[in-house]
A and B are shown apart, each in its own frame.
Chain A
Amino acid sequence: MVIRFLALLLLCQLAGESITLRLGLPVPGPVIGMVILFAGLMIKRGVPAALGQVSNSLLQHLSLLFVPAGVGVMLHAGKLADQWLAVVVALVVSAVATMAVTALVMSRLGRGTEAKP
């Protein structure tokens, strides 16, 4: 029953959106929805096969879902043309620094904390 679990994902998102709106949280609805589904899985202690199927098919091509927002670059062609050097250098420096800092801290502190097999 793949449809049932697709409905479940949408239901979690809907609940997440409602909670964010209601409480005025700075976190987006789908992230709260993820927390709700996660809590459900913890209670149920397992992932139903059909849910695994639905989430795999959505996540397998996760990056496709970012394409429409990415095409929005054409709306800002003018602004980016004026400041492209500042923006590009800032993005590259920041991406490299963030990736390096996070990975280094995590691999230092994470040493010896692997779960026992």
Chain B
Amino acid sequence: MSSGLRDIWVYLSASPLLHLTLTLLAYVLGDWLYERSGRLPLFNPVLIAVLVLVALLSITGTDYATYFEGAQFVHFLLGPATVALAVPLYRQFDKVRHSALALGVSLAAGSLTAMLTAVAVAAALGADRDTLISLAPKSVTAPVAMGITEKLGGLPSLTAVLVIMTGVLGAVLGSWIFSLLRIKDPRAQGFALGVTSHGIGTARALQLGELAGAFSALAMGLNALATALLLPLLYRLVS
């Protein structure tokens, strides 16, 4: 790098603009590849964007705190976006109301499956205590999951990563599981995506349609509540 370019780089890498721009560009690239692949779930835009950004940051020797100074502006929008989920929920509320009992039972079944299978499998394969606690709430939307982990004495930032990984996995595997099990009801598809994969599942469900999206948004909210209440109880039973 010539000294002129180096000066520009030093200046830019210290301002939040660079990493904000890179975050958007990486996502645009991910979204473009996803469309080009014919919406192949494996080409999930979040997955691609994260891989591209981690590679870039490692190559340039940038640490996460520096990156986050720029990326926080995107991260911040998670809050208002969560509030905005009330809109599709309201528009589809008539359909939601008719399935209240089914929703309660599915929520309980799904929420318990998410916590118990993750912890049981990881424990059997030798994961340590910190990892197990951080893993347990991985199906819950990131801010809640991090709060739960913190209360139980795990690692909140590890939980955030496991939450995102779970989100991407659910978005990638969802359609495949639904066709394997012949589940065509958009309410069941949306609800399962929301319970398993919180906001990333809801983003995927919104692509399937507004009805699936509304059930997914509802599932995400309910599972946050259910896990926040159940997990501390289960933890006390086990330890």
A binding-site residues for B, Cβ under 8 Å: 6, 9-10, 12-13, 16, 26-31, 33-38, 41-42, 47, 51-52, 54-56, 58-76, 79-80, 83, 85-87, 89-107, 109-110, 113-115
Contacts and interface: CB of A to CB of B under 8 A. Distances in A.
Interface string B187-219: 111011101110110111010000001000101
A106 B106 CA distance: 5
- DSSP class of A's interface residues: helix, strand, loop or mixed? helix
B85 interface: yes
Interface in B210-234: 213, 217, 219, 221, 224-225, 228-229, 232
A91 B166 contact: yes
Given A67-B27, A67-B74, A74-B57, A55 B87 contact: yes
A72 B90 CA distance: 34
Interface string B30-57: 0100000000000011100110011001
A10 B199 CA distance: 18
Contacts, number: 336
Given A91-B166, A95-B170, A109-B101, A63 B83 contact: no
Contact of A105 (B84, B90, B105, B170): B105
B58 A95 contact: no
**Interface of chain B, main secondary structure:** helix
Given A58-B81, A68-B23, A94 B144 contact: no
B117 A28 contact: no
A84 B47 CA distance: 17
A79 B155 CA distance: 11
B128 interface: yes
A117 to B, nearest CB: 10
B161 interface: yes
